[in-house]
A and B are shown apart, each in its own frame.
Chain A
Amino acid sequence: MYRYDEFDERFVHERVTQFRRQVQRRLKGELTEDQFRPLRLMNGLYLQLHAYMLRINVPYGTLSSKQMRKFAYIARTYDKNYGHFTTRQNIQYNWIKLEQTPDILKHLADVEVTGIQSSGNCVRNITSDQYAGRAKDELADPRIYCELLRQYSFLHPEFSYLPRKFKIAVTGSPNDRAAVAVHDIGLRMHKNEQGEIGFEVLVGGGLGRTPYIGQTIRKWLAPEHLLSYVESILRIYNMQGRRDNIHKARIKIIVNQMGIDKYRELVDQDWEFTKNGVLKVPDEEVARINAYFAAPTYEKLADQTAALTKLRAGDKAFDRWLRGNVIEHKVPGYAIVNLSLKAPGKAPGDITADKMDAVADLADRYSLGEIRVSHRQNLVFVDVKQSELYELWHKLVDLELATPNLGLLTDIICCPGLDFCALANARSIPIAQDISRAFTDLDELQKIGQFTINISGCMNACGHHHVGHIGILGVDKRNEEFFQLTLGGSSDQRASLGDRLGPGLPQSEIPAAIRKIVDTYLVVREQGERFLDTYRRIGIEPFKRAVYGDQSQAA
């Protein structure tokens, strides 16, 4: 994985020193809260309902065991012994003291992790495919370009006070696991006839109160032009994005107001001046970064199909886990192992300090010391020997990290909601817990098949509810929490926004409603159809009737 050189290292430490001063100025009253807010946000520090929350980046989802141990240390020393992995490949601590934040950031800088631009109206943590560099279906490792963008975006003097936040995601695989179509900029790698890689550039995607799927602004961008082209998109946005209304300030709003063709024209006009200038990415920089992401030296191993088949035959639980949570590696004899942070009754994405340490130890023992964080709030070991899967599985079972529900109905995305978040209208974690307790039969889960449920506690949509096969949105109606369901959303290469099913339901009715939707699907699904496929084929009406009865016409 990428390692800081002298420049990166000096930079992050200077950033910590700067923030220490800013905190001191705030504590002395030299900065008003209004003046301090963007400064703390751009270092990851939010003020939430009960305390400060600190959000730390896991750049493009790649983490070392050493960094994970530091996360555990921070949780233990400065927080309440746990952390929360989010949909943006970040970890959040919920109980932070302002005065201690510079020390925390110093600890993290020592292991090459930061909270820089994990919040604020600037370019946020660059996110990517959690299997980057290891997936069999990948064209090239997207992390090289993520790292270029990370450096380019850190403290960009022109773009640190954008109209609103700005999220960039990159996928190197045609099977999009990074949800690039719902980002301000989505970069989708393609290969041309000459075998060269380039990017399709999407712009103006996003969720929140006005969700949009990103539109293609450019079909092919040579990687050497990545930074200059992104800069032109940002410059037009910085100058023309709306600053009069926070709810209309994202790039998606102006892209859709002026139309993608007009936005493209403005970007191209600007880009003409810069595309062959200093921002052109030199080959030697790509080579330098590429070297860090070079595949580890793998042992020459054969696939362990026969041995695994035997183990599976004798142990149904292992079989289930292997089928569900383990995926193919591009190197024979190895496997990619997903660690579920969605055990029944648990808050999705939460993990205790002790488990973080245990995960770090297992990563060292079984997966070359590397851990990935997925936007679906799970962890991944990307380099596990197939011959050690059975042993690793036992250890993960002991840690409650082996729930075999990856990609299944209880692999729920969930924001922190009103239990923590100052923006939330409703709680979201209890909804996830209710559902995961209502669907504990693993055979049934497997029978239901691939399914995503995404839950947000307010319309800001941190839980990506618009793009869940079932989305659940918490709303507040006269001081009572209700939950609106949407069906048919997806964040993959065929991204779509969910359709609203009907009036909101109280918390107590949600598990039963999910059950009715699932039952309806199971009755009508055709061979090989996921819920999403069935929904796309038959539409919303049967599900409406199932949940609301014949009253549904009134809704």
Chain B
Amino acid sequence: MALVKNGELVESSFVDVSAAEAIPPTGAVIVSFTQWQAQRDALLARGTPLGIRLHSDQAPEVIAADLPHFAVVALEFPKFRDGRAYSYARLLRERYGYKGELRAVGDVLLEQLFFMLRTGFDAFEITSADPLRDYQIALADFSVWYQPAADGRPTAMQLRHRK
């Protein structure tokens, strides 16, 4: 699936096998938390880049200690209304110090992209005919932000009192 990453349309170099029965022997893969738990040693022994995909009921605390092994963390939005992953994203970025790709997957729509961007996502599997256009629209909506979040955009309060 096409991926918007850091503002560009790219092909994912990872194969998402999180829902597959078997994991292919080679190549960069994104696995489920269950697969990771069951096949941790084998996955690490492959020597290829690894990603992990978490369901919206799996808080990232479960992988906090394993984060150095992952180049991609994909957080699921099973429905766009399920907002748990916004908190997970901030925790990954701000508390667990995760620096790799943070990918939004599932029901990822234009009108929610802005919140995803702010909470620390940098890659998006956008369900749309023109993902890049959607991304650009979402990015242009606001020039004022009230809350500090994972993106480091200066808040209105900070700008007011900048010395």
Contacts and interface: CB of A to CB of B under 8 A. Distances in A.
Whether chains A and B associate is: yes
Contacts of A35: 80, 109, 111
Interface stretch (B18-26, B36-44, B65-73, B138-146): B138-146
A327 interface: no
Contact of B81 (A8, A14, A161, A238): A161
A151 B156 contact: yes
A161 B87 contact: no
A10 B109 CA distance: 25
A279 B86 CA distance: 18
Interface string B107-139: 001011011111100000000000000000100
B157 interface: yes
A431 to B, nearest CB: 35
A159 interface: yes
Given A11-B156, A22-B111, A238 B83 contact: yes
A10 B119 contact: no
Nearest to A151: B146
A156 B83 contact: no
Contact of B115 (A15, A160, A239, A282): A160
A285 interface: yes
B138 to A, nearest CB: 9
Interface string B63-95: 000000000000000001111101110100001
B160 A288 contact: yes
Contact of A5 (B117, B149, B160): B160
Interface residues of A, number: 39
10 contacts: A18-B142, A35-B80, A38-B81, A151-B157, A156-B146, A157-B119, A158-B119, A160-B115, A238-B83, A278-B148
B159 interface: yes
A235 interface: yes
Interface string A2-13: 000101101100
A121 B81 contact: yes
B59 interface: yes
Contacts of A239: 59, 84, 87-88
Contacts of A162: 83
B86 A159 contact: yes
Interface of B: 59, 80-84, 86-88, 90, 95, 109, 111-112, 114-119, 137, 141-144, 146-149, 156-157, 159-161
B83 A31 contact: no
Interface in A135-177: 151-152, 154-163
Contacts of B137: 21
A163 B157 CA distance: 28
Interface in A22-63: 22, 31, 35, 38-39
Contacts of A154: 146
B111 A282 contact: no
A243 interface: yes
Interface string A281-296: 0101100100000000
A8 B144 CA distance: 8
Nearest to A8: B156
In the A-B complex, the 8 residue pairs with the closest CB atoms: A161-B83, A157-B118, A7-B156, A11-B144, A157-B115, A278-B148, A158-B86, A151-B146
Contacts of B83: 121, 158-163, 238
A10 B142 CA distance: 9
Contacts of A155: 115, 142, 146
B141 A7 contact: no
A273 B94 CA distance: 10
Nearest to B128: A30
Contact of A14 (B84, B118, B141): B141
B65 to A, nearest CB: 17
Given A35-B109, A157-B116, A161-B81, 11 more contacts: A7-B159, A121-B81, A152-B147, A155-B146, A157-B115, A158-B119, A159-B83, A239-B87, A243-B82, A282-B157, A282-B161
Contacts of B146: 11, 151-152, 154-156
Contacts of A160: 83, 86, 115
Contacts of A17: 141
Contacts of B111: 22, 31, 35, 39
B119 A235 contact: no
Contacts of B82: 161, 243
A238 B95 CA distance: 17
A158 B149 contact: yes
A285 B141 contact: no
Contact of A238 (B87, B114, B147): B87
A11 B153 CA distance: 14
A10 B141 CA distance: 11
Contacts of B87: 158, 235, 238-239
B144 A7 contact: yes
Nearest to B142: A14
Interface in A314-349: none
| Most B CB within 10 A of own CB, among A5, A21, A156, A285 | A156
A354 B142 CA distance: 37
Nearest to A21: B137
B144 A157 contact: no
Contacts of A285: 157, 160-161
Contact of B95 (A10, A157, A273): A273
Given A39-B111, A158-B90, A158-B119, A10 B144 contact: yes
Interface string A234-274: 01001100010000000000000000000000000000010
A164 to B, nearest CB: 11
Interface string A480-520: 00000000000000000000000000000000000000000
A243 B85 CA distance: 13
A31 B95 CA distance: 35
A384 B139 CA distance: 48
A21 B137 CA distance: 10
Given A5-B160, A161-B86, A11 B115 contact: no
Contacts of A288: 160-161
Nearest to A278: B148
B54 to A, nearest CB: 12
Contacts of B119: 157-158
Contacts of A278: 148
A157 B113 CA distance: 10
User: Which of B109, B119, B137, B142 is packed against the most chain A CB atoms within 10 Å?
Assistant: B142
